[in-house]
A and B are shown apart, each in its own frame.
Chain A
Amino acid sequence: MNRFDYVRAGTVAEAVQAFGAGARFIAGGTNLIDLMKYDVEKPGRLIDITRLPLDKIEAHGNGLRIGALATNAKVAYDDRVAERYPLLRNAILAGASAQLRNAASTGGNLLQRTRCYYFYDTATACNKREPGSGCPAIGGMNRIHAIFGTSENCIATHPSDMCIALAALEATVQVSGPQGDRSIPFSEFHRLPGDTPETDTNLAPGEIIVAVDLPESRFPQHYTYLKLRDRLSYAFALVSVAAALELDGDTVKTARLALGGVAHKPWRNREAEALLEGKPATRESFQAAADLIVSEAQPQSENGFKIDLARRAIVRGLEQAAAGTPQSLSDKRIQ
């Protein structure tokens, strides 16, 4: 871990002003501190934002505004979230541990970095860590890596569970920065690696997340967060599915589907969602959507199984959502 300056911001404006090259905002620190211990992140300055008044969860139009500093636990156990956005609650509780969720912030969750082995290991090359050094995950240990939207420079995945739900719920990220305030639709918040895998999001330098807005609740009945992993708890997703449906009788009126563990960002395919809409909520419809989604998948040397797993997980997730039987958090049996 390198030496760094530490400043504490009292207001959002102060925080933005304190930002400069090599600075990082720190809230829960559950990922940043790890990365600093690994010398992956070497900030010259840490700007402590934990005193900013951004931890409220409050009504916002017909939706809900979640302050960037609301902890993952606070969001998950908020009654309004549980009632109106149970998909979000379930996604949060499918991740990390109680201790981590008590510390981790909403904004920080959006900024989690990949768990790619090579990214974490400074003895190896990594384009995300050291642009231009190469990507040993390609042709290497990549069973946990991406099958969608990869580039020849990076095949890393985005690790968050919460973000998969936020993508399906079409949240909006409110940010504040040197150029003022702006809103970023969730689907445009994270980015694909392309030629610049070192950049995970479309935040401009110095921009700080202040809130995440949830639109009006539409999926309190038909939803699920189905997470498949290498053990039954406390592991990152190999494939996860956030599925949300509005049904009109047995017909799908609206479908939202986001996948985790398979791409550099929460993966959505609007064509597949459109394909479901107006169709009967049957396994056949779900299979057609799943087939369309995975038709774009590109396997690496060791993660070809994820294509099949994703296809099956999508179908199961949609079945759970349609039946109104979301994946239980305590019973590890998959319904």
Chain B
Amino acid sequence: MTDTASPQTFSSTGRDTFVGTPRSRIDGPAKVTGLAKYAGEFAAPGLAYGYVVSSAIAKGRIMSIDATKAEAVPGVLKVLTHENRPRTAWRDKNFQDQVAPPGSPFRALYDDLIAFSGQPVALVVAEDFETARYAASLVHVTYAAQEPGTDLGDLRGTAYDPPGKRQGIKPPPKPWGDADAAFDSAPVRVQGAYSLADEHHNPMEPHASTVVVEQDGTYTVYDKIQGVSNSHQYLTNVFGLKPDQVRVLNPYLGGGFGSGLRPQYQLFLAMLAAQELKRSVRVTLTRDQMWSFTYRSEALQTIALGAEPDGTLTALRHDAVQGTSQYEDYQEVVVNWSGVLYKCDNVALGYRLVKLDTPTPGDMRAPGAVTGVFAIETAMDELAYATGMDPIALRLKNYAESDATAEGKPFGSKELRRCFALGAERFGWAKRKPEPRTTREGRELVGWGVATGIWESMMMQSSAIATLTPDGRLTVGNSTGDIGTGTYTILTQIAADTLGLSMESVTTKLGDTRLPEAPVAGGSWTAASSGTAVMKACRKVGEQVFKLARAMENSPLANVDFDRAVFADGRISVAGDPGRSVALVEVLQAAGVDKVEAVEEAGPDKDFNQAYEAYTHSAIFAEVKVDEELGQVRVTRIVSAIAAGKILNPKTARSQILGGVVMGIGSALEEESMLDHRIGRFMNHNLGEYHVPVNADIYDIDVIFVDEEDKANPLGVKGLGEIGIVGTAAAITNAVFHATGKRVRHLPITVDKLL
């Protein structure tokens, strides 16, 4: 603990009693005991249940829907289809949510057109779930099917540069130098094609919405969403409701990984049915229906690297073609990372889209970076072998000291070198024999690989409220969601430190549109955005309490300036004169106020953003053991060294990275949504056949947080949600090459690819 409160600490938590220390998540007990309620679990009087009927075809028209059998089932209240749906708004802009890509968003039950397999074509609403599900099986739909186009490889020739750019997504920068000519004349050349399979997010909690019709005609909505303000805006725009007619809540999320960034069709359907029936309705999607919206689109990538014999990169070309839907131009940053990571005089980066008859892809943990960094970091390993260099030495040789994709702006901070150094030391990299196939343990070949990870460090405009009451309790919060990352916990730590209280005396509330607005939880921006807003609100409360304290009769703080105030142990004291102090509770009681409250806003630091580019980095080391004869790969060791600014809570931070690494292992070895292009349908749409890692797949994962000072925001945090996954797959493909001499450029590395 420090006992100075220098002027700078006005914009920080002041003292780090809890911040920076490992703390168990405060929502943990509620989650493991079942007290935590999720969107599909809230009850309401007279609640009706909706069950979605999904399209069997991927493209064409609905010719007829015969719901008579379903309607005849006792307990069925309504079968909604495009033929009888109530009117809603119809303009695209009403359906465009806060993170929608350019285009015309999907609207359920809008007309007879089918745009993707699994599209909702009817909603059966009944008194209970089982009746709705049974009746849904009796709805008979006939289609005029057309041949769908879902094969990205086949349709590659139709790729286009999206005319409308997605907000917040940087298109590839203009090329610099002459990459093609430099490649042609480069003494060392490497080129290859890379791809990642289509992946689905598959959070444990399926998407669900419970729309409760209150007695006064307003709606209370529990929605599976990563930020309730997005659902709120969507509902008011689509259903023509005034903001105060709808309250959206989502206190907990059973995993999102990006699938909950946009309001999904179950929310629309639940509200549609609730309005039509004038009663509360819940719609929960099945696991299979989780394949009927948003996914990580596979990307077909090509990379060409040219270098001098000493490893100096002279040419870098990275192109990606990615799928989107027929109705929206979803975009992510796939190729730019190559230009950010490496210094090279001749660079060309390209990114184009192909329209497919699938739902619009969406952000999935480190969208674009997982895809692009896998490719460039595999290619860099190939270049390391082509030049005979150590893969780390090659990366350090071409280490970017500034962001070439942003006119050479410097990085706000970049401790990637330390990541390599500390990670290599922990992993034992120095003992690696560079030649492939040199280490064997029994029947298994052992391989070591390394890769870099990178993600943007962002901050979004956010507000937060802080309320201190005379009982000494502090309540803070805003509308963003804790998507399982530990947001409740870190905000509690920040609030407690800012006002010098115990964590137990702080209550953090999230996921409620009655709280001050904050954006969806995504992009790894929540800690910086909501954390700063909470800190500012608490600071403001502190100022107000300080004023009240100074005004007290015989105040120990009389004539003290605020910047000498120290908040600790529930008291305000004077820096350098700890004898002069007063308890916060005493101040409020003496002032006779029932609370001291402040709402504050925080946003990106424009000056900082003008001057710097901000990224998190990592170095990932992987050890694999491969039974070559049987094509079996075990990832026996991962060391992930992370540079992500200040670590607010090493325990929840480590969990974040562990989760990212596990997901990276899934991406590398297992995850693959299999599209039958003849019918445009993902066929392995359940968790039995879509494989994500299980405990048996996971061995040692070692997480290192490298010290990094960053000034993009007062807390010095950069965000951790995505960085753990980025580059992990490349470290594994590189380790597999080192073990076997086989270069796998198409993920996942299933048995068949190693035989």
Q: Is the beta-carbon distance between A124 and B630 smaller than 8 angstroms?
A: no
Separation of A102 and B134 alpha carbons in the complex (Å): 29
A1 interface residue (CB < 8 Å to B): yes
Number of interface residues of A (CB under 8 A): 37
Within 8 A of A (CB), among B111-164: 117, 130, 133-134, 137
Known: A136-B679, A228-B630, A232-B694. A305 touches B669 (CB 8 A): no
In the complex, what residues of B have CB within 8 A of residue A333's CB?
442-444, 625, 627, 634
Interface pairs A-B: 10 shortest CB-CB: A123-B56, A233-B696, A305-B752, A117-B683, A232-B696, A141-B683, A141-B674, A140-B676, A234-B694, A39-B137
The distance in angstroms between the C-alpha atoms of A120 and B130, with both chains bound, is 19
- Interface segment, A83-91, A188-196, A309-317? A309-317
User: How far, in Å, is A53 (CB) from chain B's closest CB?
Assistant: 32
Pair B670/A1 contact, Cβ less than 8 Å: no
Q: Would you call A231 and B676 a contact (CB within 8 A)? A: no
Interface string of A134-156 (1 = CB under 8 A from B): 00100111011000000000000
* Residues of B contacting A335 in the complex (Cβ-Cβ under 8 angstroms): 442-443
Partner of A228, one of B56, B442, B751: B751
6 A-B pairs within 8 Å (CB atoms) are namely A117-B683, A231-B669, A305-B631, A309-B630, A332-B634, A333-B627
Are B693 and A231 neighbours in the complex by a CB distance under 8 Å? yes
| Distance, CA A2 to CA B136, complexed state (A) | 10
Q: How far is the CB of A218 from chain B (nearest CB, A)?
A: 27
Name the residue among B137, B676, B684 with the largest chain A CB count within 10 angstroms. B676
Partner of B684, one of A39, A141, A308: A141
Tell me the dominant secondary structure on chain A's binding face.
Answer: loop
**Residue of A2, A121, A228, A316 ringed by the most chain B CB atoms within 10 A:** A121
A230 contacts B by Cβ under 8 Å: yes
A115: chain B residues within 8 A (beta carbon)? 688-689
A118 within 8 A of B: yes
Closest chain A CB from B206 CB (angstroms): 13
Q: Is A235 an interface residue (CB 8 A)?
A: yes
B629 contacts the other chain (CB 8 A): yes
Q: Is the CB of B133 within 8 A of A1?
A: yes
Q: Which residues of A contact B (CB under 8 A)?
A: 1-3, 37, 39, 115, 117-118, 120-121, 123-124, 136, 139-141, 143-144, 228, 230-236, 238, 305, 308-309, 312-313, 316, 332-335
Interface residue? B181 (CB, 8 A): no
B695 within 8 A of A: yes
Among residues of A, the one whose C-beta sits closest to the C-beta of B666 is A231
CB < 8 Å: which of A37, A117, A235, A334 contacts B443? A334
Which residues of chain B from 647 to 698 have a CB within 8 Å of any chain A CB?
669-670, 674, 676, 678-679, 681, 683-686, 688-689, 691, 693-697
Measured CA separation A118–B686 after assembly (Å): 12
A230 engages B627 (CB within 8 Å) = no
Task: Say which residue of A3, A136, A139, A230 sits within 8 Å of B691 (CB atoms).
Answer: A230
Docked complex Cα distance between A231 and B632 (Å):
9
Q: Confirm or deny: B89 has a beta carbon within 8 angstroms of a beta carbon on chain A.
A: no
Complex: A2 Cα to B681 Cα, angstroms: 25
Contact A312 B134 (CB under 8 A): no
A235 / chain B contacts, CB cutoff of 8 Å: 688, 691
In the assembled complex, how far is the CB of residue B504 from the closest CB belonging to chain A, in whole angstroms?
36
How distant is the Cα of A169 from the Cα of B346 in the complex, in angstroms? 66
Partner of A309, one of B631, B683, B684, B696: B631
Which of A118, A236, A238, A332 has the most chain B CB atoms inside 10 A of its CB? Answer: A332
Would you call A312 and B630 a contact (CB within 8 A)?
A: yes
Residues in chain A near residue B674, CB distance under 8 A: 117, 141, 143
B421 → A minimal CB distance (Å)? 32
Asked if B755 is an interface residue, CB under 8 A from chain A, the answer is yes
Query: With contacts A3-B134, A121-B681 known, what are 13 further pairs, Cβ within 8 A?
Result: A1-B130, A2-B134, A39-B137, A121-B685, A143-B752, A228-B632, A231-B691, A233-B696, A305-B631, A312-B629, A333-B442, A333-B443, A334-B627
Given A1-B133, A118-B683, A136-B676, answer yes or no on A231-B56 (Cβ-Cβ < 8 Å): no
Q: Does A117 contact B130, Cβ atoms closer than 8 Å?
A: no
In the assembled complex, B439 has its CB within 8 A of some CB on chain A: no
B750 beta carbon closer than 8 Å to chain A: yes
Distance, CA A333 to CA B630, complexed state (A): 11
Cβ–Cβ < 8 Å partners of B695 in chain A: 233
Q: For B117, B694, B695, which residue has the most chain A Cβ atoms within 10 angstroms? A: B694
Bound complex: CA of A214 vs CA of B123, how far in Å? 51
CB A237 to nearest CB in B, in angstroms, measures 11
Q: Which residue of B lies closest to A42 (CB)?
A: B137
| Residues of chain B within 8 A of A139, CB atoms compared | 678
B residues in contact with A232, CB < 8 Å? 632, 634, 694, 696-697
Check if B94 is an interface residue, CB within 8 A of chain A.
no
B137–A234 contact, CB under 8 A? Answer: no
The reply to whether A230 and B697 form a contact with Cβ atoms under 8 Å apart is no
* B55 CB contacts on chain A under 8 angstroms: 123
> Contact: B670 with A308, CB < 8 Å?
no
- Which residue of chain A has the shortest Cβ distance to B629 in the bound complex? A312
Chain A CB within 8 A of B469 CB:
no
* Complex alpha-carbon distance, A44 and B177, angstroms: 72
For window 610-664 of B, CB contacts with A under 8 Å fall at 625, 627, 629-632, 634
B461 within 8 Å of A (CB atoms):
no
Interface membership of B54, Cβ < 8 A: yes
Q: How far is the CA of A124 from the CA of B686 in the complex (A)?
A: 15
Contact with A along B689-721 (1 / 0, CB 8 A): 101011111000000000000000000000000
Chain B residues with CB under 8 Å of A141's CB are 674, 676, 683-684
Residues in B with CB closer than 8 Å to A313 are: 630
CB-defined contacts of A2 to chain B, threshold 8 Å: 134, 137
Question: Within the complex, what minimum Cβ distance (angstroms) separates B358 from chain A?
Answer: 15
Scan residues 699-755 of chain B and give those whose CB is less than 8 A from a CB of chain A: 750-752, 755
Query: A137 to B248, alpha carbons, bound, how many Å?
Result: 44
Would you give the shortest CB distance from B742 to chain A, in whole angstroms?
Answer: 14
Cβ of A305: which chain B residues have Cβ within 8 Å of it? 631, 751-752, 755
B689 touches A117 (CB 8 A): yes
How many angstroms between the C-alpha atoms of A124 and B693 in the bound complex?
Answer: 28
Find out whether the CB atom of B688 lies under 8 angstroms from the CB atom of A136.
no
The distance from the CB of B196 to the nearest CB of chain A, in whole angstroms, is: 16
Compute how far the CA of A283 lies from the CA of B693 in the bound complex, rounded to whole angstroms. 33
Residue pair A117, B670 in contact (C-beta under 8 Å): no
State whether B755 touches A334 (Cβ < 8 A). Answer: no
In the assembled complex, the CB of A308 is this many whole angstroms from the nearest CB of chain B, namely 5
B141, chain A: closest CB distance, angstroms? 10
Query: A236 CA to B691 CA in the complex, in Å?
Result: 11
Residue of A37, A120, A141, A144 most packed against chain B (CB within 10 A): A141
CA of A3 to CA of B632 in the docked complex: distance in angstroms?
Answer: 44
What's the nearest-Cβ distance from chain A to residue B165, in Å?
35
Interface readout for B585-596 with A: 1 if CB under 8 Å, 0 if not? 000000000000
Separation of A1 and B136 alpha carbons in the complex (Å): 9
Query: Given the complex, which residues of B lie within 8 Å of A143, measured CB to CB?
Result: 674, 752
Residues of chain A lying within 8 A (CB to CB) of residue B629: 312, 316
A332 with B689, Cβ < 8 A, contacts A123-B54, A140-B683, A230-B751 known: no
Contact with A along B280-324 (1 / 0, CB 8 A): 000000001000000000000000000000000000000000000
* Max chain A C-beta neighbours (<10 A), residue from B55, B134, B679: B679
A333 to B625, CA, bound (A): 9
Distance of A136 Cα from B634 Cα, bound (Å): 33
Name the residue of chain A whose CB is nearest to the CB of B136. A39
Instruction: Point out the residues of chain B lying under 8 angstroms from A230, CB to CB.
Output: 670, 691, 750-751
Complex CA–CA separation, A139 to B679 (angstroms): 12
- Please name all residues of chain A whose beta carbon is closer than 8 Å to the beta carbon of B679 when the two chains form the complex: 124, 136
- On whether A136 and B678 interact (CB within 8 A), knowing A232-B634, A238-B751, the answer reads yes
Contact of B694 among A124, A231, A316, A334 (CB under 8 A): A231
Q: How far is it, in angstroms, between the C-alpha of A316 and the C-alpha of B443 when the chains are bound?
A: 11
- Nearest chain B CB to A182's CB is how many angstroms away? 34
Q: Which residue of A is nearest B73, CB measured?
A: A3
Bound: A114/B443 CA distance, A: 33
Task: Quote the shortest CB–CB distance from B634 to chain A (angstroms).
Answer: 6
Are B134 and A117 in contact, CB atoms less than 8 angstroms apart? no
